[in-house]
Amino acid sequence: MPVLEISNLTKHFGGLVAVNAVDFSVNSGEIVGVIGPNGAGKTTVFNLLTGVYLPTGGRILFGGIDITGWKPQEVVKKGLVRTFQQTRVLFSIPVMENLLTGFHCRTRSGIWGAVWQTGSKEVEDRSCRDQALEILNFMGLLKYKDELARNIPQDAQRRLGIAVAMATQPKMFLLDEPTVGMNPSETQEMIRLIGAIRERGTTILLIEHDMRVVMGICQRIIVLNYGLKIAEGSPEEIRKNPEVIAAYLGSEESA
Amino acid sequence: MSSKKGIIYLLIIVLLFFLPTIIKDSYFLYMAILSGIFVILALSLNVIVGYAGQMSFCHSAFFGVGAYTSALLVMNLKFSFWLALPLAMVAALILAFIIGYPSLRLRGPYFAIVTVGCAEVVRSILYNWVDLTGGPMGLPKIPPPDPIRLGNLFTLTFNTRQSYYYLVLVFVLLTLFIIIKLMKSKAGRAFIAIREDEGFARSIGIDIKGYKILAFAISAIFAGMAGSLYAHYILFISPVSFTIAESINVILMVIIGGMGTMVGPIFGAILLTALPEVLRAVADYRMVLYGLLLMLVMIFLPGGLMAALRAVASLFSKGSGIAAKGGSIART
């Protein structure tokens, strides 16, 4: 059953066609990879899916609902959440506070609850705290819980970025190059975590440059080049696809 | 640890309640009341500048609109002060929406520049709408707050410095209480996330514009309250009190005290209200010293006085504390 279906998705920046009539779908529980050379439009697709950019054309269905043109916060609330290629967390506050901020769209207590400390707010606070500890434990960050985010190691910051996104309770994750700049053992750990996140019932769409990662964990791969989808298939099929090879290595004519 | 802190804060509050009986000097009380009003201004500006990270120069406009609204309602329409005060807050809130709604989609310096313009527009209106505001002549003879009567038994008047001190103290504590609670809530976390990284905040489902407007609105409401308290204390207001220089003064209080902390702006407000009096001998150089102080704080104490205090406190704390600190430094 498809969680995400995009059809004819197009984005123009002035005269540049960054994403050109791309179609694909992602089934519930899958890990799907999006690959392509630099400038292929991968990150633009993410920005379109999360409502940061308004598509020039096309439709995005998430969980059977048309979310095209929704605001970013509405998309997150629906359960479609992204992470970033760069390390992005709230550096100047403690790790635990980072996590609690992640629960933003899942909490109800408003201004009055905060000022008068209503009972429902206390129940909600406690439940957020418990869930935050569980996520920190899952991501191997429990020992850093009271440290400022800027004082923890780089690879822990990367995991923290994903942990905060997990606190929003996504149905589907868009991971933008989660292993970029990591050493082999850190990469292995991240691959294990991505698998474990999928086990928790979150569908994953992954942008990745590291072929070992893509070929290792993705069930299906979508290849973009110059904004066009040029191939889609299993890792085996993609590895042998002449168009993909040409896009990555340069074809005879262009060379 | 936190219960120890609680006892210290409770002691400070008790001390503040007995202060007028300890120091009976009338000039001292005048300065204490003025400090209290500026504490409210600094605490409220800190919400938008320190927590949400948006530099705003139109705090003087909210302060001024609060002061004029309250004074005019009481003088022209014979409203009670106790009704005029909340209406002054509402007027500042409405102004915050008018300024904030179109301008808070701008980022960083662009928003700051718009607020400079808005502060000047409001000052010009106060200056030029002579029929209503008295223009440059200001509004004299504003009455003090109406007394509170409980039957015939008990009457609380606010025409002495001592009684006004208690009035302001209650409002300072109320402001502090509400702002502390708000900053520890979902909204406070959203403000900090926006300050730290807007793109990241958006990615976890925070409505950037909505929360910026909320921060601006909270900030304006309390500035309006401070305006009303100011008008009915000084009993004379004129546009001179509500210029951009006044906004900058409050910004200095927040920065020198420590942006994004609760205690910092309180220190900053008291220090910068008292300092010109202490430096009365060199009054002409007041702004020079202000500038110098700001420069020194930015160079040597970028986190403000609060960061300096914390650093000193950690030097004096026991070995384990230092070890923990050292550990966290070693990791960076």
* One-character DSSP codes across B211-268: HHHHHHHHHHHHHHHHHHHHHHHHS-B-GGGGSHHHHHHHHHHHHHH-TT-SHHHHHH
For residue B197, list chain A residues with Cβ-Cβ distance below 8 A: 88-90
In order, the DSSP letters of B2-22 are HHHHHHHHHHHHHHHHHHHHH
**In this structure, what are the phi and psi dihedrals at residue A183, rounded to the nearest 5 degrees?**
-80, 170
**In this structure, what are the phi and psi dihedrals at residue A86, rounded to the nearest 5 degrees?**
-80, 165
Q: Are A150 and A94 in contact (CB under 8 A)?
A: no
Kindly state the tokens that stand for B240.
């001179």
pLDDT along chain A (255 residues), means of 10: 91 90 92 89 92 93 92 93 91 93 82 71 86 94 93 92 94 91 89 92 90 87 91 89 80 49
- Please provide the CATH number assigned to the domain covering B16-286: 1.10.3470
Report the range of poorest mean pLDDT among A57-61, B54-58, B146-150. Answer: B146-150
Inter-chain contact B186–A77, Cβ cutoff 8 Å?
no
Q: Are residues A142 and A220 in the same domain?
A: no
Confidence of residue B325 (pLDDT cuts 50, 70, 90): very low
Identify which of A73, A84, A89 has the shortest CB distance to residue B206: A73
Inter-chain contact A150–B332, Cβ cutoff 8 Å?
yes
What are residue A25's DSSP bridge partners?
Answer: A5
pLDDT of residue B280: 72
Q: Are residues A194 and A146 in the same domain?
A: no
Inter-chain contact A147–B328, Cβ cutoff 8 Å?
yes
Q: DSSP alpha helices (H): ranges in A59-218?
A: 72-78, 95-102, 111-116, 119-138, 154-167, 184-199, 211-217
| Number of domains forming the structure of chain A | 2
pLDDT of residue A123: 84
Domain-embedded: residue A200: yes
- Which residues, numbered 90 to 119 in chain A, qualify as contacts with chain B under a Cβ-Cβ cut-off of 8 Å? 90-93, 97, 100-102, 104-105, 107, 109-111, 113-115, 117
B197 at interface of A, judged by CB pairs closer than 8 A: yes
The residues near A242 (Cβ < 8 Å, ≥ 6 apart) are: none
DSSP-derived 3-state class of residue A6: strand
What's the rounded mean pLDDT across residues B56-64?
96
- Which residues, numbered 145 to 184 in chain A, qualify as contacts with chain B under a Cβ-Cβ cut-off of 8 Å? 147-148, 150-153, 164-165, 167-168
Identify which of B197, B205, B331 has the shortest CB distance to residue A104: B205
CATH number of the domain encompassing residue A28: 3.40.50.300
Q: Are residues A71 and A100 in the same domain?
A: no
Confidence of residue B326 (pLDDT cuts 50, 70, 90): very low
Last residue of a domain, one of A116, A147, A169: A169
Q: Are residues A128 and A50 in the same domain?
A: no
Inter-chain contact B202–A52, Cβ cutoff 8 Å?
yes
The residues near B317 (Cβ < 8 Å, ≥ 6 apart) are: none
Domain-embedded: residue A190: yes
Whether the per-residue pLDDT at B283 is higher than 70: the answer is no
Phi-psi region of B304 (alpha: psi -120 to 50; beta: other; left: phi over 0): left
B118 at interface of A, judged by CB pairs closer than 8 A: no
Give chain A's largest Cα–Cα span.
71
Q: Are residues A186 and A69 in the same domain?
A: yes
Interval B206-235: pLDDT, tens: 999 999 999 999 999 999 999 999 999 999
pLDDT of residue B269: 94
The residues near B99 (Cβ < 8 Å, ≥ 6 apart) are: B58, B61, B114, B115, B118, B216
Phi-psi region of B17 (alpha: psi -120 to 50; beta: other; left: phi over 0): alpha
The C-alpha atoms of residue A155 and residue A135 are separated, in whole angstroms, by 16
B310 at interface of A, judged by CB pairs closer than 8 A: no
Please tell me which of B22-31, B207-216, B323-332 the model is most confident about, judged by mean pLDDT: B207-216
Domain-embedded: residue A58: yes
Nearest-neighbour CA in chain A from B23: distance (Å): 34
Kindly state the tokens that stand for B12.
């400070």
The residues near B285 (Cβ < 8 Å, ≥ 6 apart) are: B279
Single-letter amino acid code for the residue at B293: L
In order, the DSSP letters of B71-119 are HHHHHHS---HHHHHHHHHHHHHHHHHHHHHHHTTS-HHHHHHHHHHHH
Q: Are residues A235 and A198 in the same domain?
A: yes
Q: Are residues A102 and A57 in the same domain?
A: no
Kindly state the tokens that stand for A141.
């960050």
Identify which of B188, B192, B331 has the shortest CB distance to residue A151: B331
Q: Are B108 and B225 in contact (CB under 8 A)?
A: no
The C-alpha atoms of residue A229 and residue A27 are separated, in whole angstroms, by 18
Closest-CA residue of B relative to A85 is B200
For residue B207, list chain A residues with Cβ-Cβ distance below 8 A: 71, 73
Q: Are residues A185 and A247 in the same domain?
A: yes
Last residue of a domain, one of A152, A169, A186: A169
Q: Are B26 and B168 in contact (CB under 8 A)?
A: no
Tell which residue, B53, B38, B32, has the closest CA to residue B253: B38
Identify which of B181, B196, B206 has the shortest CB distance to residue A104: B206
Mean residue pLDDT of chain B comes to 87
pLDDT of residue B76: 93
Whether the per-residue pLDDT at B327 is higher than 70: the answer is no
Single-letter amino acid code for the residue at A197: I
A-B CB pairs within 8 A amount to: 92
A144 at interface of B, judged by CB pairs closer than 8 A: no
Nearest-neighbour CA in chain B from A248: distance (Å): 30
Nearest-neighbour CA in chain B from A127: distance (Å): 14
Report the range of poorest mean pLDDT among A250-254, B54-58, B101-105. Answer: A250-254
Query: Whose structure tokens read 């899942």?
Result: A106
Expressed as residue numbers, the domain containing A109 is 90-169
First to last CA, chain A: 42
* Residue B75, Cβ density class (10 Å: 0-12 exposed, 13-18 middle, ≥19 buried): middle
The C-alpha atoms of residue B310 and residue B313 are separated, in whole angstroms, by 5
Confidence of residue B322 (pLDDT cuts 50, 70, 90): very low
Inter-chain contact B186–A107, Cβ cutoff 8 Å?
yes
Give chain B's largest Cα–Cα span.
68
Nearest-neighbour CA in chain B from A245: distance (Å): 34
In terms of DSSP bridges, do strands A2-13 and A16-27 run parallel, antiparallel, or are they unpaired?
A: antiparallel
Q: Are A176 and B199 in contact (CB under 8 A)?
A: no
Domain-embedded: residue A84: no
Q: Are B115 and B98 in contact (CB under 8 A)?
A: no
Confidence of residue B289 (pLDDT cuts 50, 70, 90): confident
pLDDT of residue A254: 45
Q: Are B230 and B144 in contact (CB under 8 A)?
A: no
Closest-CA residue of A relative to B207 is A73
Q: How many residues are recorded in chain B?
A: 332
Inter-chain contact B206–A105, Cβ cutoff 8 Å?
yes
Whether the per-residue pLDDT at B146 is higher than 90: the answer is no
Last residue of a domain, one of A169, A192, A217: A169
pLDDT of residue A97: 93
B324 at interface of A, judged by CB pairs closer than 8 A: no
